[in-house]
């Protein structure tokens, strides 16, 4: 038997003791960080985690109001999105894509005023969401911090016109986010648009859009958009081609930038065709239909990675199909880029389901709703993964959602 007090054993114990002393001396304490480095570390945390950590100590709580911390946050290129679903009275419900959980956000005081209590979200970009109140006025706010700004009202003569698109495009920068709000209105084919510029704090002059005809077929199709077409469904129900949408998604529209740097607003006409408005050339055109007008389907637009995509739910051969399509400008045709697994989409067959969708990066959140059932499904386009979100319960009952908007939870975004 070996002697437990041999020199090798003694040296081993000494070595371990030295290593333990070195470990203790190299222990890292957050309190030892200078203010600048602490702010840079905290700025990289997910927003939900940061707010939880502000209760750790007074120093960390004071970071939230620091201008240099806002600067550090603004240098983070992007944040994983939150999805705001149909708002409730005086608060909103959001789904945190990082923590995969539902959260409740109180409305800022401006939205709780009697004149704004029924405001509906109509567009979102970056860390901001745009609401429209019952008087037709627009309010832009940061739902995380509660900062709000009510825009100057549009001309009263425009309030009675049909609004087709309300889109917002933001450019985050330090101290104040710069953004544009674009509204497209009128009756096809007589369309116009106006732009609100946050840098000037005012609306630009009204600009008319002219119709761009690519060929004779485009001109013949445009006549179908001016009136509803009624037909009998397979179930014997009378169906109109005019879409009935959730109030907050009646202005379903997205804005993208072309290869030439031109801003293009896409929206759905009343019969479901996609209309593209080029704000630079002041022209609009219509894309070819994905399905004939007499087919039963639900359709919505999303913006993902700078592309306009169409999400389409249709029924074929006694089964439902939900697919994502992209329009190729070069060959002027649609091509499929993703499809929900048949085992998931078949559940919606014969349920008269309406879909309302929103895109964020490579993700699409799809709200499927009908009189019978409702569900929220998140699609990862890069991985072609489809996951149903957990139900959101309030007072023991699952809440049904009709639509959603995506935004980045940015503390530094202000209006």
DSSP 346: G
39 belongs to a structural domain: no
Please choose, from the candidates 278, 298, 275, the residue with its C-alpha nearest in 3D space to the C-alpha of residue 287.
Answer: 275
Q: Answer yes or no: is pLDDT of 23 > 80.
A: no
State mean pLDDT over 4-27.
48
The string over 214-231, giving b where at least 16 C-beta atoms fall within 10 Å of a residue's C-beta and e elsewhere, is eeeeeeebbebbeeeeee
Token couple for 315: 């029924």
Closest CA to 243 of 232, 228, 265: 228
What per-residue confidence (pLDDT) applies to 29?
A: 59
pLDDT(118) > 80: no
Residue 23 maps to a domain:
no
Mean pLDDT along residues 285-313: 89
**Full domain range(s) for residue 390:** 71-213+230-407
* Domain harbouring 327, CATH code: 2.120.10.80
pLDDT-derived band of residue 235, with 50, 70 and 90 as boundaries? very low
- Give the single-character DSSP code of 151: P
The predicted-structure confidence for 202-234, as pLDDT tens digits, reads as follows 999 999 999 987 654 444 444 444 454 444 444
* Residue position matching structure tokens 């592309």: 307
Helix axes 67-74 and 35-43, enclosed angle (nearest 10)? 40
Q: Does 75 have pLDDT greater than 70?
A: yes
Residue keyed to tokens 């014969």: 350
Answer whether residue 4 is part of any domain: no
Look at the pTM and tell me if it is higher than 0.75.
Answer: yes
Residue linked to tokens 């009709």: 402
* Ranges 44-53, 81-90, 328-337: which has the least confidence: 81-90
**pLDDT surpasses 80 at 346:** yes
State the Cα torsion 26-30-33-35 to the nearest 10°: 180
DSSP string, 370-390: -SS-EEEEEEETTTTEEEEPP
Higher pLDDT, 223 or 112: 112
**Maximum alpha-carbon separation in the chain:** 102
Q: What is the per-residue pLDDT across 141-172, written as a single tens digit (0 to 9) for each?
A: 999 888 999 999 998 888 778 899 999 998 75
Q: Per the structure block, which two tokens stand in for 174? A: 């330090």
Task: Give the containing element (helix H, strand E) for 58.
Answer: helix 58-63
The answer to whether position 12 is within a domain reads no
Whether 283 is in a domain gets the answer: yes
Q: Is residue 49 part of a domain?
A: no
Q: How many domains does the chain have?
A: 1
Q: What percent of the chain has pLDDT over 70?
A: 81
């Amino acid at each position: 038997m070996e002697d437990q007090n041999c020199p090798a054993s003694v040296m081993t114990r000494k070595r371990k003791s030295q290593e333990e002393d070195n470990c203790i001396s190299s222990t890292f304490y957050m309190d030892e960080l200078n203010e600048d480095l602490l702010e840079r570390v905290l700025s990289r945390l997910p927003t939900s985690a940061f707010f939880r950590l502000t209760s750790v100590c007074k120093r960390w709580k004071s970071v939230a109001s620091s201008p240099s911390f806002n600067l550090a946050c603004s240098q983070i290129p992007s944040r994983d999105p939150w999805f705001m679903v149909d708002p409730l009275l005086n608060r909103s419900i959001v789904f945190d894509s990082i923590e995969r959980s539902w959260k409740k956000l109180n409305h800022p005081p401006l939205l709780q005023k009697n004149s704004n209590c029924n405001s509906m979200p109509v567009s979102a970009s970056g860390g901001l969401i745009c609401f429209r109140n019952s008087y037709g006025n627009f309010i832009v706010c940061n739902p995380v911090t509660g900062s709000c700004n009510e825009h100057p009202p549009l001309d009263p003569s425009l309030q009675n016109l049909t609004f087709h698109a309300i889109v917002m495009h933001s450019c985050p920068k330090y101290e104040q986010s710069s953004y544009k709000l674009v509204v497209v209105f009128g009756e096809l084919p007589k369309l116009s648009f106006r732009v609100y510029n946050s840098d000037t704090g005012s609306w630009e002059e009204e600009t008319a859009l002219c119709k761009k005809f690519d060929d004779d077929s485009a001109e013949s199709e445009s006549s179908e958009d001016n009136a509803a077409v009624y037909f009998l469904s397979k179930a014997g129900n009378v169906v109109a081609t005019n879409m009935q949408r959730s109030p907050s998604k009646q202005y379903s529209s997205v804005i993208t930038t072309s290869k030439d740097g031109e801003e293009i607003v896409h929206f759905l006409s009343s019969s479901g065709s996609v209309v593209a408005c080029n704000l630079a050339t002041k022209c609009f055109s219509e894309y070819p239909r994905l399905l004939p007008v007499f087919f039963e389907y639900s359709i919505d637009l999303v913006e993902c990675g700078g592309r306009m995509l169409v999400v389409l739910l249709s029924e074929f051969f006694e089964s439902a199909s939900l697919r994502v399509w992209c329009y190729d400008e070069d060959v002027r045709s649609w091509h499929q880029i993703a499809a929900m697994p048949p085992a998931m989409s078949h559940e919606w067959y014969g349920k008269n389901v309406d879909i309302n969708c929103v895109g964020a990066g490579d993700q699409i959140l799809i709200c499927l709703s009908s009189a019978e059932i409702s569900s929220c499904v998140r699609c990862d386009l890069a991985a072609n993964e489809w996951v149903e979100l957990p139900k959101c319960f309030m007072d023991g009952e699952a809440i049904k959602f009709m639509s959603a908007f995506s935004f980045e939870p940015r503390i530094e975004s202000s209006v």
